[in-house]
Every structure is written in C-alpha cells, then in structure tokens.
Chains A and B, each alone.
Chain A
C-alpha cells in the first residue's frame, strides 16, 4: 500500500508511531519518518494510525490500481 504524510499538517503527536511502529517512526523530538510503500500486511495498523491522527495528516491509497493497469484498460476500451 502507498501512503504519504502531509508534514505541514503533522504536529508530531506520534499516535501513528504507537499504532504502526514498523511504518511510522519519530526521528528526534518531532520529526516523523515513515515508509511510503508500507507492506500490505500492515494495512490494518496503518488504517488505525490514519484514524487516530489528530490532524488527519496521513493520506493512503483509495485505489490501488497502478497506471499500467489503467493503461491496459484504456487500451482495451
């Protein structure tokens, strides 16, 4: 799964680091580092982190279809 954190919104509350520690890590006091290409096995943890974020800074895929698939579909149409 793919995700991105809007680090302008992020205020270092670190709820994500508690709920999905293999994906989100605090670096120093406030800076968040994360894995943008999180393992699919972590999806439930990541979705809990998304829900728990006080400023709703975590954006995850709403569609997993890669571009290549879209291209193939467009070509078939």
Chain B
C-alpha cells in the first residue's frame, strides 16, 4: 500500500482516541471531522461536564455575572464521537496501542492525541489545603465553590501567588468590594511572564485598586480552627493575617502522571513533541502514532531558536490542536509544522493586558508607544538584537504589528518611524526577569532545551 493509500485508508477506517476533552481535544476532534476523517473517534475526559472555556472562570464567573456551568464551548459541528467523560486515563500501552482508564477498562487506538492539559498546583501541605476556605482555581467546580464563598462576603481573601490567575482573582475580589491581600514571593506580580519592569506597573495597578500587595513574601502556614475552617495565614516576614478565604494560585502542573512508565518523553514540563506534534519517546525518537497538543505539549518553535515551548495559552491550544489533527490524518508531504506565534491576554483591574512572542527570552525592553505611568502602552522585548516579544496595556490594536515584527526578525531596538514616542522610549532598559535559578511562581512560558548558542538542558531524574 502506498503512503497516500495508507493515509486515505486511515481516514476511512482508523481509530482515533483523544485523551483530554477540553479546548484542545474538542478542537482537534472538530478538525478531524472537518478534514474528512470518518473513522472511529473516542473522546476521553476526566471531568464529567462537556468541554468548556476556562478563561471566564477567573473573570465573569468570579464576578457572579456568569454561572460556573455556563461557559460551555460552542460546537462547530457534530462530532459523531464516543464520549467517555468523568473517567481519567491512568496509563498508556505504547506497544499494544491501548489507553488504560481509571474504571479498569482499556481503549484501543490506531492514533492517539494527548491533550490532557494542566491542573492547578495545590497547596503543598495537604492538611492545610483541606481546610474549609482554601481554594484553587482551574475547573468549573473550583470556580463555583470559590464564587459562592466570595458571594458570602468573607472578611479578607488571601491570594497566594501573583501570576495571571492570582492577579485576576484579586481583581475580581476588589471589584466585588472585598478586602484582599496578595502574597507573592517574587519581586512583583506577573514577573515570571513579563519581567520586573512590567511587573512594577502591575504592582502599582494593584495597589491603586486597593490590593494589599506583599511582594518578596511567602506564606509559611495556613492555620485552621478546631472545626477545620481557615482562620489565619503565617507569612515569611513573621506577620500573621486573619483570613477566611485563601486562593492558591501557584501556577499549573502538567497532567503527565498517567504517562509515567509509558516510554514517552513525558515529565513535569509536559510531553516533548516535534514541530508536527508527534510525541518523542524517552530516547528522543519521534513516535509515528502518538500526537500531543495544548498546554501539555512541549514543542520546538523555529522563530524562537527551536526552544521547546510549553505554552499555557488559549490560542496555542486551538492552533496546535488543528495542526495535530491535520497531521494525524495526513501523509508526510502534507504534514504541517506548528508555527503559531504565542499570544496571551488577561483582563485585570480594568486593563486589557496582551502579550505576543516569548517575553521571557527578552533581555531588554523598550516602551515604544504610550507611557508606563499612564498604564497605557506598548513595549517591545529584544533578544540578541531582534524583537522577540511585546506586551500592551490597553493597546491591543498594536499587537498584530508586533507579531509581524517578531515573525520577520525585525531589529531591536525598533527602527520603525512611530507616533507617541515618550522620553522613556528613547532607550531600552533591562527587562529584569528573575534569575531562573531563584524560585518564583512558574512562568506562563517554560523555556528549556538545547540551543547551540547558549542554553543547555539538564536532565534531573524524578525522585523515587
């Protein structure tokens, strides 16, 4: 059978299993059908509900404007799929081509898409995490529980971690008129994702909106009363806070435990795959029938020095799912690389924050339009003399321009004639990202992998 023949036969008769029935999994399934796959399709998801959108959970839902079960994703088409919802995948038999499920069953496949995404990193001490009043925010159920508690008007909310999720939670609290303290162990909010210069703007924004923001501080303990209700938090500077709600916003963990021992190159940073979304095995050899997409994928990007990027970006989940699905049913010459330029958004404290590219790769930053002081600006990041990323505060219409700058490896500092250049935009400053050797909340973009010019990978075996 010719290669083309096998692709055509697969479209007619192949069995595809998608593990992870969230944004990426759904979009992949839709794309398979749109592109003519008529074989058997099985969707496995550990949450019992239909695929839903997560970004509104930290905004509209926490503000009480939308119910937590009201963010179901629209359907682009009927899928004609077998849905196995509410059951987690627990193992993968590569040789036998089977997925093991928590209920003891196994599902056979010809080609598999791994789209299991991330989950919220829990508070590390289980007894404290179990106190009534301690929350994480990732699932619709998490959002429903937290919103009910906020509606009951707690005296003070403590947000632990000032990344995007923690900052959005704090913004929702202030908009509801609730007292909120944010404890961030780094020097500023959003510092891992956008660096210290932009982080300083975010810090001022929070304080101007009434947030009790404490940076360079860790929470050392959460204390409950005899009934198991959260009462107090102890901070690393020796102070204590009376709080009755704590939101743990320490970043995300990739859902890869179910792949332990499978032989795939899967670990805490995600599942390594090539630019066509084919998973690597532990020897660094691409598999033929295992594909990866979304937050759980870690793939090389040619615009960024072939760094393996692990993105927690909504748009990346969509774009990568489409590429993976296309490649699952295509022969070699028709396969496509995943070349989406990373882009992200957040709405907090009345400001629309957007980024494009990979800001953590930037060494320098220059404000190209607007003013940090006005909280309305565009800023570009430079890496080795080229524009590598940009961030905007209420300047969304410039994002596409900077995406084009990144795609064309435009020089940094930028040389385009521009309007609205302020004094602070006359020269670049250091972007002020934290020393990666120092602990901080996890960045939205994880950079790892080998680059001949500067970076090396260090393999750290998981502790027994």
Interface residue ranges, A against B (CB under 8 Å): 1-4, 6-8, 10-12, 27-37, 59-67, 70-71, 74
Contact = CB atoms under 8 A, between A and B. Distances in A.
B75 A31 contact: no
Interface residues of B, number: 41
Given A12-B396, A67-B85, A70-B80, 16 more contacts: A2-B73, A2-B74, A4-B74, A8-B343, A8-B354, A10-B396, A12-B397, A33-B59, A35-B66, A36-B60, A37-B66, A37-B67, A59-B76, A62-B77, A65-B75, A70-B79
Interface string B46-68: 00001001011001100101110
Contacts of A2: 72-75
Interface of A is mostly: loop
19 contacts: A2-B73, A4-B74, A6-B318, A7-B314, A8-B354, A11-B397, A12-B394, A28-B347, A33-B59, A33-B65, A35-B65, A36-B56, A37-B70, A37-B72, A59-B76, A63-B77, A65-B75, A70-B80, A74-B82
B315 A8 contact: yes
B320 to A, nearest CB: 14
B350 interface: yes
Interface in B301-338: 314-315, 318
B60 A34 contact: yes
Nearest to B313: A8
A6 to B, nearest CB: 7
Given A8-B315, A28-B352, A29-B376, A36 B72 contact: yes
Contacts of B81: 70, 74
B350 A27 contact: yes
Contact of A36 (B70, B347, B354, B396): B70
Given A8-B343, A28-B350, A31-B352, A59 B74 contact: yes
B258 interface: no
Closest 4 CB pairs of A and B: A28-B350, A31-B347, A30-B352, A37-B70
B169 to A, nearest CB: 15
A31 B245 CA distance: 27
Nearest to B51: A67
Given A30-B394, A62-B74, A67 B65 contact: no
A33 B70 contact: no
Contact of B396 (A4, A30, A59, A70): A30
